[in-house]
Amino acid sequence: MELQSERATCAKCGKRFDPALEKCPHCGWQVPAGWVWPPATPEEEEAIAQKRKEARERIILTTGFEIEGRAISRYLAVVSSQEFLISDSPTQELEQATNNCLERLKDKAVKAGADAVIGVDIDYMKMEANAFMVVATGTAVRLQESE
Ligand SMILES: [Zn+2]
């Protein structure tokens, strides 16, 4: 799945892609830090937000390294997210923190132009008596279009 927009034009290959992406999904051109695309019209903004939302809903998170019935076409990036929390009885908060980490992993996957994050690993670290850190990592991948 690739997000399409009529605004962001790759400086290298000239193809169009979603301006939220950090790299051109066609040729891998890295959008320079601080790069500003021309402003979108409200209609474009809405269309892009909608596509991003749909892309986010389609992101597959798995602790496995394969997606049933789909071939991986590209390994894009290792993505990670962290959540720090201080609590005396952290059971519930840890669950919420884990969910937050996984949601942010999805956001990063969308930004990377991924379809899925494989090998998702969640680590819990006890920093001090009542301070905890949750770290989620995984590999953002693009899948071949299903037939
Ligand atoms: Zn390109």
Residues 40, 75, single domain; the answer is no
- One domain for residues 71 and 126: yes
Q: CATH code at 101?
A: 3.30.110.70
pLDDT along the chain (147 residues), means of 10: 58 85 90 81 81 90 95 95 91 92 94 94 92 96 83
Give the span between the Cα atoms of 89 and 39, in whole angstroms.
Answer: 47
Tell whether 1 is covered by a domain: no
Regarding whether 122 and 87 lie in a shared domain, the answer is yes
Render the burial of 18-32: b for 16+ CB within 10 Å, e for the rest.
Answer: bbbbebbbeeeeebe
CA of 30 to the centre of ligand 1 (A): 9
Residues 78 and 108 in one domain: yes
**Same domain flag for 75 and 111:** yes
Q: How far is the CA of 60 from the centre of ligand 1 (A)?
A: 25
Residue 31 CA to ligand 1 center (angstroms) comes to 10
74: β partners:
142
Residue 5 alpha carbon to ligand 1 centre in Å: 13
Number of compact structural domains in the chain: 2
Distance CA 80, CA 3 (A): 22
- Range(s) of the domain holding residue 13: 8-55
Whether residue 63 is found in the same domain as residue 24: no
* Contact present, 50 and 40 (Cβ < 8 Å): no
Q: What pTM was computed for the model?
A: 0.70
| Residues 48, 75 within the same domain | no
Which helix (H) or strand (E) covers residue 52, if one does?
A: helix 42-58
pLDDT, residue 147, reads 58
Quick one: pLDDT at residue 43?
A: 82
